[in-house]
Amino acid sequence: MQALKQTRRYWLPLAAAALCFYATTLGLPPLAVYGLIVMGVGFALDAGTTWLGRMGAGGGLHEYKQ
């Protein structure tokens, strides 16, 4: 249960993205489908960039100063 609480920053946006993409199959108007697709991609990008930032091996501003 503890691991589930610690990783909710990743799986919660992914679950929201999956729900948005599923909702597009329910026969909604085209503008609503477009909005849901944009929201789903945004949620997926949020989870992906959070996951990549958490990896820690990518350096950062303190390592690559200009």
pLDDT digits (tens), the chain, 66 positions: 776 677 788 889 999 999 999 999 999 999 999 999 999 999 999 988 888 777 765 555 666 566
Evaluate whether 36 touches 24 at the Cβ level (below 8 Å).
Answer: yes
Instruction: Identify the pLDDT of residue 49.
Output: 85
Three-state SS at 58: coil
